[in-house]
Structure 1
């Protein structure tokens, strides 16, 4: 059997050990580069949205109320948008009388309407002293320029005491607002300044991180809403002191109304939109920002060092844990690591107001799992191909399949198995080879070994090794074979039949004839990989192997082509006609072994058995007569000739009593 399997396994292990850290480096580099792309940021944002949804308090705790310009108000008031500013003046007066701390309009009032309407609103603003109006940026394109222009509230309202706050917010690539505006005149800053003027000492100092992000308290309408028509008549529709000390935000809350016109455009998707399918009014975004700032709920994105540090740790742990890739165990480890990262991310988001983008480490674990799995499968396929290439010329296909399915058998060491060993050798091949050129000898030997190997494999045997012109093969390993002895003997007979054909071919080619001897023995042997840790053969060792080899050599004495031990004969006696040859003691063995050959002549077999029985009973005359009858049928029978020689010797020097008929073969 070939010994390249151990070398292949060593190479595979080394290659896998080399590829594993390389995979980790490649995965880290790919995710590091991907993290700078806008598409990856959108993916990270989805993680932010999920954390926002699953950590949201789902309620507001600050005195913030939203007055919604909604469909019921359009129906009740009966006017199309834009409403007259005298109506807003009435609202300001009612809210002032109700004790509102701040009145903030999330409406752009940059263009003058009728003088009397603007005058009414200016008077109401002046009386109230706590009104904030929204400013915005608009994009303007003319023949000469394309630019962003700031749109501030009408100067008349500013002179009346209103404060202008920039209500513009930044949209991310997926049109969701996550960034908390932190410019100096942001809408929320102006509102809080007004509140501090109205209720001094109640607000804590505002400290924002470098790039704050909004923690949404919930989906749309998490904050308390009242309709505009209710707010202008609070005595009728609302409890007493409903607006006292409240920050009142006035803005559009329309979804689809023919009277709303442009008023229905001020809605935006939030992290909750994916699950609720509803957009959130822009005025409520400002309410979220106010509560974030006052209660210090705003979020800070973790610095790059933390993000890439987590990516490194995740890939390192995944690589170490999955270096010996097992689909289920590696998947379980990956799930545990991912759960730990998600849990840590949730905890930081919920309790530390830190958003640690986790898409990169999570994908890193997946990449390591898939990469290790892919490398393992690729290595496994390579190993199977190499095993097949290494063994397909030495063992039958089903044995190759068994080795591929159970590669753990290909390790140093062996196991005790019941096997049948077969040894072959060419008679006088050395003398023949001396008469031929090396090239001719090689061609002849390859021709012979190829045909014999084909026959052995055809009968489910395993070719152990070639020793010059000799072959060692066995049955019963690595696969169990209940018919191992039968298969070995059938192979032996077919091999001898093939030798007859080969001799005819060699004769026609002018080459000398070849004769082959075969020894077969069944018994226990140690079968497995024998050798050193770096180089070993799949082979069989033990007394069974030695005796099979001895039987091959004993053929010379009896001029037989095939000799079997009694162990093998006992397993095949129902399938073959056997001829008992002798009872021999070989060197190194204490017990004598009955040996047999395969014979098809029933008459010779019958005479042979009677002759041996008489011989072992010291009935020399009867045995001699029977052997002579064998020679009459087969004059060249070497077995009969040997027994006649022994009988002649025993007549002169009789054997010891109870000698048992065994003969000692000292040179075998």
Structure 2
């Protein structure tokens, strides 16, 4: 998809191209009116009128049919033929005995129209235009030499290798330079498109700051051990809903949910590591760890609790299923960076901390909790723990893990309705509820993060 800036540049380039075309027309018209075309007035008049018609048609095509490439090619071919007529109109109209050297007007128009084609920055069009003009030009030089030479071969060669041939070579070198510029532009344009595509793909998973870091080729993308906060978000009973829901409804619900979750994650400087069906894995501290990763991750999780609760209530009011969400949050050491696996390279994190965060998200279902946080993450907070009705649970055994861990979770309030009704709820936007639900209004228990 073309960017707005790219469209603006294309429009500006087209305006410059049109101006050059009408400069050439003004020169032709002035030459016709001032009588600088003795012996070829009729041919010159035909060229001027034809060029005016072609110019108007070319401008109209650029305005109303910008994507018809064959029309652009047609106008370039017609321009080339008209240049040939301008260059040697006096040959067609004058007797053999007269001087058939090139006129200044013909040369000026030829070079102006070459630059006009060059401004399109399409090397194919430059090649077509210059190829036709040069081939015709050389042919006309040969015809002129044949009409003026004496019987011997030396005079024929002398008639061919004259000043006009040097001008032809100059035109050819100019055309080559413009062709090389158009080729460089083609390569730069393709690289820019690839960069935009990479940036678009990255922006689906990373916050803008992380995207900038990755584009600069930072060493942070190398696979290495680092500390990070890992978050898993998952919808409850989504599989049952997906089995019976129409495809359009399923796509709408899943897309809205992902948009909401990823937007909130990006808002807090996190990274969406991957989407797994209705699950989302996010990382805070990837690709570069910071001192407040745990704080941002917890703030994001609490905002997601509110936002997903609002989203659920909005869905119910509009006839969609009430889908609760569970969030697991843990802090630990991971191996993060670009994981090369042959045909597919993935920017991700792996390690025990990832497995623990996923187990905590599953644990949220058995606790009937919207959020379960490990004590390891609580211990990493630099700011006071956000006010909420935290419920501690010690020595929780996680499946597949030998050592138990301590956790803190929030109990889900049955029938909770947002404190502030938002009748203008936009499903595509990120909802951050500042009026937290009732389970977040009580002060935290003392020493909650020290155990």
CA displacement, residues 235-292 of structure 1 (integer Å, 9 cap, x when unaligned): xxxxxxxxxxxxxxxxxxxxxxxxxxxxxxxxxxxxxxxxxxxxxxxxxxxxxxxxxx
CA displacement, residues 14-58 of structure 1 (integer Å, 9 cap, x when unaligned): xxxxxxxxx9xx99xx89x989989xxxxxxxxxxxxxxxxxxxx
Correspondent of 2:211 among 400, 407, 416: 400
Partner Cα distance (2:214, 2:448) in 1: 44
Shift of 1:472: 0.8
Q: 1:433 to 1:402 in 2, by over 3 A?
A: same
User: Which residue is equivalent to 1:515?
Assistant: 324
Shift of 1:497: 0.5
Partner Cα distance (1:561, 1:596) in 2: 11
Shift of 1:372: 7.3
1:215-254 correspondence to structure 2 within 5 Å: none
1:426 aligns with 2:235: yes
1:381 aligns with 2:192: yes
Correspondent of 2:445 among 597, 605, 622: 605
Structure label with greater radius of gyration? 1
Matched position secondary structure for 2:369: coil
CA displacement, residues 77-108 of structure 1 (integer Å, 9 cap, x when unaligned): xxxxxxxxxxxxxxxxxxxxxxxxxxxxxxxx
Partner Cα distance (1:551, 1:502) in 2: 22
Q: 1:603 to 1:488 in 2, by over 3 A?
A: closer
User: Which residue is equivalent to 1:596?
Assistant: 408
Partner Cα distance (2:321, 2:189) in 1: 51
Matched position secondary structure for 1:460: coil
Partner Cα distance (2:137, 2:334) in 1: 65
User: Which residue is equivalent to 1:485?
Assistant: 294
User: Which residue is equivalent to 1:537?
Assistant: 346
Partner Cα distance (1:465, 1:442) in 2: 18
- Greater helix proportion: 2
Matched position secondary structure for 1:572: coil
Matched position secondary structure for 1:605: coil
Shift of 1:509: 2.4
1:505 aligns with 2:314: yes
Partner Cα distance (1:565, 1:389) in 2: 34
1:584 aligns with 2:389: no
Contact 2:385/2:444, CA 8 A, preserved across alignment:
no
Correspondent of 2:336 among 516, 519, 527: 527
Shift of 1:550: 1.0
Contact 1:579/1:609, CA 8 A, preserved across alignment:
no
Contact 1:424/1:472, CA 8 A, preserved across alignment:
yes
Contact 1:565/1:596, CA 8 A, preserved across alignment:
yes
User: Which residue is equivalent to 2:369?
Assistant: 560
Shift of 1:423: 0.2
Shift of 1:522: 1.9
Q: 1:555 to 1:447 in 2, by over 3 A?
A: same
Q: 1:373 to 1:552 in 2, by over 3 A?
A: same
Structure with higher RCO (Cα < 8 A, 6+ apart): 1
1:494 aligns with 2:270: no
Aligned residues: 278
Worse-superposed segment, 497-506 or 541-550: 497-506
Shift of 1:539: 1.9
1:475 aligns with 2:304: no
Q: 1:497 to 1:603 in 2, by over 3 A?
A: closer
TM-score by length of 1: 0.35
Q: Which runs of 4+ in 1 moved over 6 A?
A: 33-38, 366-369, 407-410
Partner Cα distance (1:511, 1:594) in 2: 36
Q: 1:382 to 1:500 in 2, by over 3 A?
A: same
Shift of 1:383: 1.7
Contact 1:387/1:400, CA 8 A, preserved across alignment:
no
1:296-315 correspondence to structure 2 within 5 Å: none
Partner Cα distance (1:590, 1:369) in 2: 66
Partner Cα distance (1:554, 1:469) in 2: 17
Partner Cα distance (1:479, 1:371) in 2: 40
1:546 aligns with 2:350: no
Partner Cα distance (2:248, 2:340) in 1: 32
